[in-house]
A and B are shown apart, each in its own frame.
Chain A
């Protein structure tokens, strides 16, 4: 009894080699079992999902693969397909320019919006990937809007140059007056810029041929270009306005706060389409009788108002999320309102708001398709009007709407992926 071990007939002295896990617990089988067939309900779900995927593939597969690219009308497509299922992508090939640029932008000038589009990435890069590119490159971003305007609309180069100079003048005035007070600086900047533009407005009249590209009236813009333009212009315009509105809503001055609240809540309470109706049929009544802002400008004004209200709410969320200690710390350093906002509050608040701002921008970009309802020929408007209305393409809606959906998906999905990436980058907590 004292030494049971020594009485044992056999004691394994070395450890057995690890046996591989049983078949159902390893590799692909385990994965399948755990992920797809873990329970009865799960198995049913899996089978349903497989059926759905199978159905999708068999429905769209032949349609995509048999697609015809080279005919010049739907009936020719049908002849080529000869009864088989297949898409008629020829409409995309034949109407490509119309889909992208609208039907009136002069075709020898397509390179201009094309170049502006490429430059957009150059201009956005320093902004989007702030860590990779030096800050100095942000100058490119600042110049871009004016360059893009020059490229897309044409006309004399003096217009964008003076416009840019107006901002420079405004900036210096702001720098100077902000020492006194923030609102003073803002007011001074706006007034000085307006005065500058007013004065130079006469000048450009005389210099209308100086370094002029062939001007293209905004009425001639259409297609996906119009969606991009509306999206980019309105989002970038609405950012500063949104910040001001958000600050106004947080302000301690009751009148300023009241104005901001009413504006924001009103705009957020009505659908964009009613605002577009305003742009289309009402706004003209509120402008001076002789003025004629064209439709695209009126639409830009209304969409910008729309977007700034939403962006203001996002930024307000960011401002509210900052711990009060930040405000107090800025105050205790003796910073005045403008300094504390610029140096302490806004950088943090904006950082928190970035995902929200991106969401609003994506939503806004999608909403630019609504202009087709007020007879503007953006991508959707082109499809609904001239292309589906043409005798040769009457009835090719799948291909066209599918193409439009794909274009929007690519843009919106990449933006939202970027925003998620950025969110991860900006995370400062080390959890």
Chain B
């Protein structure tokens, strides 16, 4: 009954304790958990499984950071956010980092004052239609009813694309992925548009995925990545280099299978520096030597995470494409660890 007053007291106490701490890193360490913003549910990227545990590609990034900072990949509070709430949640400090397939754009980086710490998935917006519709190109969509998720860059791209091609359409704005999926399946819209990865994930969750095709056009560039608040550079560095460690690990051939072996020391200096047997990279981040080793051990390197969550052997079945290492013709290019 009178709990709020008492909460006020608790907060007051919490405040006096928290006031001393300055950066997000210290906050997270003091709290013992990482607050990570994710979607409200997109299979493959972030969704709670039947046991209520969060799983997915974005979730894996959060877990890696938690492992690096707190040595415990499960010490995370996942905060589900919608398109509307995600930026305020991050700005207000409710979450420490946002890993919610968020597109890196100029305004978000500069005007909304966030810092993108890299790209964990190179994506582009696409269209999905039922096969029965007989459409083979987005150019044939004149007059179609299109389901979109609100609060994303998607609706702006969509408006631009149809305007540019002089086509008409009827937008049906929906708040959550689950609901737009229902609308689409019921035939209340002809087309569902979102990032291609999201389309693949959505299609994978359908009863008969083969009844739906993803059109070949990609109408936008969508580099998706984790982001943190502007101005807290130590924390930004940490998230950025944890992601880079995952990417570099794949390039260097460090996998969850051989990491224990490699961590004993090798004759490859960069591997040693990454895994902490050489140099003091960890200390520079304000962590210990084995931070990257822990991060990689959670679920493996970038390639393993990709294969496990969204890769071709999963129902989502995404090809590496742009997300292959630069050595294999992709865009993933982790700066050197030295």
A and B touch in the complex (CB under 8 A): yes
List A contacts of B207 (CB < 8 A).
Answer: 75, 391, 394
With A145-B2, A237-B4, A391-B206 already in contact, the answer to whether A205 and B17 are too (CB < 8 A) is yes
Does A175 reach chain B (CB closer than 8 Å)?
Answer: no
- Interface size of B by CB at 8 A reads 50
List CB contacts (< 8 Å) of B144-191 with chain A: 175-179, 181-182, 185-186
| Selected A-B contacts with CB under 8 Å, 17 pairs | A149-B3, A194-B8, A197-B12, A198-B12, A236-B2, A237-B3, A288-B15, A290-B19, A291-B11, A291-B14, A291-B15, A291-B18, A297-B4, A375-B85, A389-B205, A395-B186, A397-B182
Q: Interface size of A by Cβ–Cβ distance < 8 Å? A: 57
Name the residue of chain B whose CB is nearest to the CB of A204: B13
Tell me the bound Cα distance from A394 to B17 in angstroms: 46
When distances are taken between beta carbons in the complex, the residues of chain A under 8 Å from B182 are: 388, 394-395, 397
B9 partner residues in chain A, CB cutoff 8 A: 163, 166, 194, 197-198, 200-201
Docked-complex contact B88 and A281, CB < 8 angstroms: yes
Given known contacts A201-B13, A219-B77, A292-B93, A395 and B185 CB-to-CB distance under 8 angstroms: yes
Query: Is B6 a contact partner of A197 (Cβ separation < 8 A)?
Result: yes
B4:A205 contact, CB within 8 angstroms: no
Task: Decide if B337 is an interface residue (CB 8 Å cutoff).
Answer: no
Q: Distance (Å) between the CB of B90 and the closest chain A CB?
A: 10
CB <8 Å contact, A280 and B88: yes
Residues of B contacting A104 with CB < 8 Å? 48, 52
Of B48, B179, B205, which contacts A386 at CB under 8 A? B48
Q: Which of B10, B15, B52, B178 contacts A290 (CB 8 A)?
A: B15
A421 within 8 Å of B (CB atoms): no
Q: Does A144 contact B (CB under 8 A)?
A: yes
Residues of A within 8 A of B175 (CB): 373
The reply to whether A237 and B2 contact each other, CB–CB distance below 8 Å, is: yes
Q: A-B pairs with the 3 shortest C-beta distances?
A: A389-B178, A201-B13, A284-B92
Tell me, yes or no, whether B82 is within 8 Å of chain A by CB: yes
**Is residue A304 within 8 Å, beta carbon to beta carbon, of the partner chain?**
yes
Interface residues of B in 113-144 (CB under 8 A from A): none
Contact indicator per residue, chain B 1-43, by CB within 8 Å of chain A (1) or not (0): 1111111111111111111010000000000000000001101
B positions within 8 Å CB-CB of A: 1-19, 21, 40-41, 43, 47-48, 52, 77, 79-82, 84-85, 88, 91-94, 175-179, 181-182, 185-186, 205-207
Query: Is the pair B178, A385 in contact by a Cβ cutoff of 8 Å?
Result: yes
Which residue of A294, A384, A395 is within 8 Å of B176 (Cβ)? Answer: A384
Q: How far is the CA of A411 from the CA of B81 in the complex (A)?
A: 30
Tell me whether A103 is interfacial, beta carbon within 8 Å: yes
- Closest CB in chain A relative to B91 CB, distance in Å: 8
Would B93 and A293 count as touching, CB distance under 8 A? Answer: no
Q: Does A285 contact B (CB under 8 A)?
A: yes
- Report the Cα distance A149→B3, complex, angstroms: 8
A145 contacts B177, CB within 8 Å? Answer: no
A contacts, CB < 8 Å to B: 75, 98, 103-104, 144-145, 149, 159-160, 163, 166-167, 193-194, 197-198, 200-202, 204-205, 217, 219, 233, 236-237, 280-282, 284-285, 288-295, 297, 300-301, 304, 373-375, 377, 384-386, 388-391, 394-395, 397
A291 CA / B206 CA spacing, docked (Å): 42
Check B5 against A193 for contact (C-beta < 8 Å): yes
Task: Please give the distance in Å from A297's CB to the nearest CB on chain B.
Answer: 6
CB neighbours of B84 from chain A (8 A): 280-281, 374
Whole-angstrom distance from the CB of B281 to the nearest CB of chain A?
A: 30
CA distance A167 to B5 in the complex (A): 10
Chain B neighbourhood of A375, CB < 8 A: 40, 80-82, 85, 176
In this complex, what residue of A is CB-closest to B207? A75
* Complex interface: chain B residues within 8 A of A103 (CB): 48, 52
Question: Is there contact, CB below 8 Å, between A197 and B40?
Answer: no
Does A217 contact B85, Cβ atoms closer than 8 Å? no
Instruction: Find A388's partner among B10, B52, B91, B178 (CB 8 Å cutoff).
Output: B178
Chain A residues within 8 Å of B179, by CB: 384, 388-389
B1, B81, B91, B185: which has the most chain A beta carbons within 10 Å?
Answer: B1
Judge whether A236 and B1 touch: CB under 8 Å.
Answer: yes
Instruction: Output the least CB separation between A319 and chain B (Å).
Output: 23
In the complex, the answer to whether B85 meets A166 with C-beta atoms within 8 Å is no
How many Å from the CB of B117 to the closest CB on chain A?
21
Docked CA distance A389–B42 (Å): 9
Q: How long is the Cα–Cα vector from A197 to B15 in the complex, in angstroms? A: 13
Chain B residues near A197 (CB-CB < 8 A): 5-6, 8-9, 12
Question: Which of B5, B79, B181 makes the CB contact (< 8 A) with A219?
Answer: B79
Q: Which residues of A contact B3 (CB under 8 A)?
A: 145, 149, 163, 233, 237, 300
- Bound-state CA distance A377–B82 (Å) is 12
Q: Which residues of the other chain, A, contact B186 by a CB distance below 8 angstroms? A: 395
Given contacts A104-B52, A292-B94, 18 further A-B contacts (CB under 8 A): A103-B48, A144-B1, A149-B3, A163-B5, A194-B8, A200-B9, A201-B12, A202-B16, A236-B1, A237-B3, A291-B18, A297-B7, A304-B4, A375-B82, A385-B176, A394-B205, A395-B186, A397-B182
